[in-house]
């Protein structure tokens, strides 16, 4: 019995000053996130050989819990489960438990997230992920056999309780271990295919780039800005690509519209400046309150460029607020920037950010604002309307207000500015969210770029100096005496850098070189690029990898181009290669660029929307072809599979002899990609049923001929008339060969009642 069947059968604070009752091995760590769990009754261990050896010695599975210090749901799961003595005792008896800070180990996080997405796609029909990640590993190989995210203390919303999950996995480990090991092989093969699969080179044409831009415009929310519905993320990689792809026209108009909507919403900190991580709704109103350095880094230059281009004072105001918040909340004495601010205070989401009209009125009156200004400010900040926030975990709490702006004019009014200052002074007296005082090399590289670009666009040499100070500190702090680069620094944290780190640092040095004209920054960028090439480029295949070779704690060496909240390392390198080629007198980086673009072309063509930073590099290179796409190897055969959207169904048509993979064979090492149909519209879930399949000679199961798969859509955004973006991924094979996996985005419209 497969674990998907085994598990779907059940998938239906310490007092101040009190001594800790329990201390685990995380107490010796420096990560703020790991230290938060140092006194859980769970015998947590850090990721590493000691934990792996202990699991192998005891013959028990490994629980890996991945999160980060400002993750709200990570805190919820800790309070509900990991602080519970009975849960701790059960985990300690039957598992080896490992905590991972995803910000310290992005390579581990990438593999665990890909595992979660592959597992949920196979068992639920839709890839999903998030933090905390809850992953169970087979100890001998460190391959995952089950993956999920948050599990509640009590069964809810179709999920088992965390204890029920533990009990079922423990039972399956004792009685069905061969099946779990087989499932670990299948799941790890899918992850390997996702993170390191190669695709035959193709000629990247303007048509493929246009396909990405046009898909994003179809996905764009013309009412509220941004892309898709709730929850709504800023998606700076999308916006950067659209700005590069279409300097004027509909893409640029949507970008400016999105920037204004975000600036007026609760996702913007209307008092302190900067942006929260995302909005839980589709209107940018109620945020998930953590603040991440990488969001400020990528949004700041977008607003600065828009401010210069349009002359819109609202965009300039946002830039001032972002930099002010950085200096107040993140700037370290050494010139680097800390990584994040928490989403909660004392277990309450939103903590210091929420208001009531009475609190605001009292603060404004005490600050001496005259009554007309008080009334105007209350209206401008949305405090005269209905409350917009209810804490789902504390239903007994009174409703509250997240501050928003009614209009750009209201935001810019002098009275509003005085009111903001008065309310911020009061807010600063409240207990503040925790700060993750860990400096991450890649995120600082993004921040250097953001400050340098904004300083140049806004004529703010003081911002450029902040960027230069951070760059100087990064070059001194993160490079060890032996010449190797390190990732995160908090007192003694010292971890191997990833390609993401060095690529984003190159991005920062690029922006500084452009902003200052100082050739020193170009020289330092070439030095960093040479180190990145040594550690992360496979010269034989011209593929860039996220981690250095020889990491025995990783069953796959990630090389994916898909961008997330931060750019992928390979994708950011592609974005920087044209500039490196332009400043390199030897011409060597020009040759590296050509080989890299060729090697990555098949993966980009297969999924252009998710590889936006790579597309930016191609646009900068000027090497796009206007001719139709053509495989570089003329012996490769084009896929003959026809895939179309018909009503609310996906139709497939294939000629005789061709099949698509429904499930890959077990235990053969083949990295075949099964059919997947998922929603790209965030507030819509798509369910579907696999048609009858055939058994192939290699043990795989396949689909052939012509057939139609009806789609069933649900979720808060599944309203009549809603346009839904559907991602369809498949791999076509004959009896003698398989083509690279293909992915296409189609749109369907939910019919009326």
pLDDT the model gives residue 416: 95
Per the listing, tokens 């169904």 go with 649
Contact 612, 573 (CB under 8 A): no
Mean pLDDT of 240-250: 92
- Using left for φ > 0, alpha for ψ between -120 and 50, and beta otherwise, residue 363 falls in alpha
Is pLDDT larger for residue 646 or for residue 10? 646
Q: Which two tokens stand for residue 352?
A: 């210091």
CA dist., res. 73 & res. 68, Å (int): 10
% of the chain exceeding 70 in pLDDT: 92
Please tell me which residue, 566 or 16, carries the higher pLDDT value: 566
Q: What's the pLDDT at 14? A: 39
Q: What DSSP letter does each residue of 153-190 carry, written as one string?
A: SS-BTTBPPHHHHHHHHHHHHHH-HHHHHHHHHHHHHH
Q: Which of 7-11, 101-105, 469-473, 550-554 has the highest mean pLDDT?
A: 469-473
Q: What is the mean pLDDT of residues 483-496?
A: 78
pLDDT exceeds 70 at position 197: no
Most confidently predicted of 12-26, 187-201, 525-539, 548-562: 525-539
**Considering just the CA atoms, what is the radius of gyration of the chain in Å?**
26
pLDDT in tens, 696-742: 766 678 898 889 999 988 887 788 777 788 888 888 877 666 676 77
- Residue 735 pLDDT: 67
pLDDT band at 744 (very low <50, low <70, confident <90, very high): confident
The CATH number for 642-749, chosen from 3.30.465.10, 3.40.50.9100, 2.60.40.1250, 3.30.460.10, is 2.60.40.1250
Query: Is the pLDDT assigned to residue 104 strictly greater than 60?
Result: yes
Domain 3-196 shares a fold with domain 642-749? no
Read off the pLDDT of each residue in 543-551 and give the average, rounded to a whole number: 89
Is pLDDT of 2 > 50? Answer: no
For the stretch 258-296, pLDDT in tens is 999 999 999 999 999 999 999 999 999 999 899 999 999
pLDDT of residue 6: 40
The yes-or-no verdict on residue 50 having pLDDT over 80 is yes
Q: In this structure, what DSSP letter does residue 25 have?
A: G
Pairing of strands 712-714, 701-704: unpaired
pLDDT of residue 194: 81
Q: Which tens digits make up the pLDDT trace of 597-637?
A: 999 999 898 889 999 999 999 999 987 866 444 333 333 34
Distance in angstroms (rounded) separating the CA atoms of residues 729 and 725: 13
CA dihedral 534, 538, 542, 543 (to 10 degrees): -110
Q: Where are the beta strands (DSSP E) in 484-641?
A: 488-489, 537-538, 543-544
Check: CB of residue 726 under 8 Å from CB of residue 746.
yes
Q: What is the pLDDT of residue 156?
A: 80
643, two tokens:
């895939």
> What is the pLDDT, as a whole number, of residue 657?
80
Say whether pLDDT at 371 is over 90: yes
Say if domain 3-196 classifies as CATH 3.40.30.10: yes
Domain residue limits, the chain: 3-196, 220-436, 642-749
So what's the pLDDT on residue 495? 82
Which range has the worst mean pLDDT, 227-236, 399-408, 475-484, 587-596? Answer: 475-484
């Amino acid at each position: 019995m497969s674990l998907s069947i085994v598990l779907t059968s059940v998938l239906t604070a310490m007092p101040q000053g009190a001594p800790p009752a329990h201390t685990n091995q995380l107490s010796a760590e420096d990560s703020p996130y790991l230290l938060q769990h140092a006194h859980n009754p769970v015998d947590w261990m850090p990721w590493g050989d000691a934990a792996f050896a202990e699991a192998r010695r005891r013959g028990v599975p490994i629980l890996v819990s991945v999160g980060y210090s400002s993750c709200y749901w990570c805190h919820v799961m800790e309070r509900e489960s990991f602080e519970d003595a009975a849960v701790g005792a059960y985990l300690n008896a039957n598992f080896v438990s490992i905590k991972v800070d995803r910000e310290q180990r992005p390579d581990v996080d990438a593999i665990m997230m890909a595992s979660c997405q592959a597992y949920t796609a196979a068992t639920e029909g839709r890839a999903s992920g998030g933090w905390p990640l809850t992953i169970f590993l087979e100890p001998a190989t460190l391959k995952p056999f089950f993956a999920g995210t948050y599990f509640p203390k009590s069964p809810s919303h179709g999920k088992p309780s965390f204890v029920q999950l533990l009990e079922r996995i423990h039972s399956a480990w004792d009685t069905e271990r061969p099946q779990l090991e087989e499932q670990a092989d299948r799941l790890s093969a899918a992850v390997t295919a996702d993170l390191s699969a190669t695709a035959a080179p193709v000629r990247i044409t303007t048509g493929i780039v246009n396909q990405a831009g046009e898909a994003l415009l179809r996905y764009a929310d013309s009412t509220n800005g941004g892309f898709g519905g709730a929850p709504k993320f800023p998606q700076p990689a999308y916006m950067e690509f659209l700005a590069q792809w279409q300097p004027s026209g509909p893409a640029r108009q949507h970008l400016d519209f999105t920037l204004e909507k975000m600036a007026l919403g609760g996702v913007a900190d209307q008092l302190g400046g900067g942006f929260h991580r995302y909005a839980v709704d589709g209107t940018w109103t109620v945020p998930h309150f953590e603040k991440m350095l990488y969001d400020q880094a990528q949004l700041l230059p977008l607003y600065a460029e828009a401010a210069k281009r349009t002359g819109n004072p609202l965009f300039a105001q946002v830039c001032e607020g972002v930099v002010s918040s950085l200096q107040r909340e993140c700037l370290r004495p050494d010139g680097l920037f800390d990584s994040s601010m928490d989403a909660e205070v004392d277990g309450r989401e939103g903590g210091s950010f929420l208001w009531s009209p009475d609190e605001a009125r009292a603060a404004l009156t005490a600050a001496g604002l005259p009554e007309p200004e008080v009334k105007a400010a209350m209206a401008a900040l949305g405090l005269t309307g209905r409350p917009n926030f209810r804490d789902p975990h504390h239903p007994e709490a009174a409703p509250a207000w997240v501050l928003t702006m009614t209009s750009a004019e209201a935001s810019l009014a002098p009275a509003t500015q005085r009111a903001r200052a008065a309310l911020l002074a009061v807010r600063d007296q409240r207990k503040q969210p925790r700060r993750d005082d860990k400096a991450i090399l890649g995120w600082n590289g993004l921040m250097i770029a953001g400050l340098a670009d904004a300083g140049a666009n806004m004529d703010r040499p003081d911002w450029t100096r902040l960027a230069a100070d951070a760059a100087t500190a990064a070059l001194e702090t993160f490079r060890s005496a032996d010449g190797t680069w390190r990732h995160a620094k908090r007192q003694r944290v010292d971890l191997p850098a990833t390609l993401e780190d060095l690529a984003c640092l190159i991005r920062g040095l690029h922006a500084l070189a452009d902003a200052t004209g100082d050739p020193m920054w170009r020289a330092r960028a070439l030095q960093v690029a040479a180190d990145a090439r040594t550690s992360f480029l496979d010269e034989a295949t011209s593929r860039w990898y996220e981690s250095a070779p020889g990491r025995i704690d990783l069953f796959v060496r990630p090389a994916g181009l898909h961008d997330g909240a931060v750019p992928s390392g390979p994708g950011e390198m592609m974005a920087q290669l044209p500039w490196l080629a332009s400043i390199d007198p030897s011409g060597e980086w020009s040759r590296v660029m050509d080989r890299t673009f060729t090697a990555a072309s098949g993966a980009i063509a297969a999924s252009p929307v998710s590889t936006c930073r790579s597309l930016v590099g191609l646009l900068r290179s000027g090497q796009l072809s206007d001719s139709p796409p053509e495989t570089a190897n003329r012996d490769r055969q084009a896929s003959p599979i026809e895939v179309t959207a018909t009503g609310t169904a996906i139709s497939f048509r294939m000629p005789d002899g061709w099949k698509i993979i429904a499930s890959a064979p077990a235990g053969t090492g083949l990295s075949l990609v099964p059919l997947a149909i998922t929603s790209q519209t965030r507030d819509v879930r798509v369910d579907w049923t696999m048609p009858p399949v055939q058994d192939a000679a290699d043990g795989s199961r396949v689909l052939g001929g012509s057939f139609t798969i009806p789609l069933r859509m649900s979720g808060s955004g599944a309203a009549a008339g809603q346009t839904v973006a559907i991602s369809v991924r498949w791999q076509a094979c004959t009896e003698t060969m398989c083509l690279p996996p293909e992915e296409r985005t189609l749109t369907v419209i939910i019919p009326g009642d």
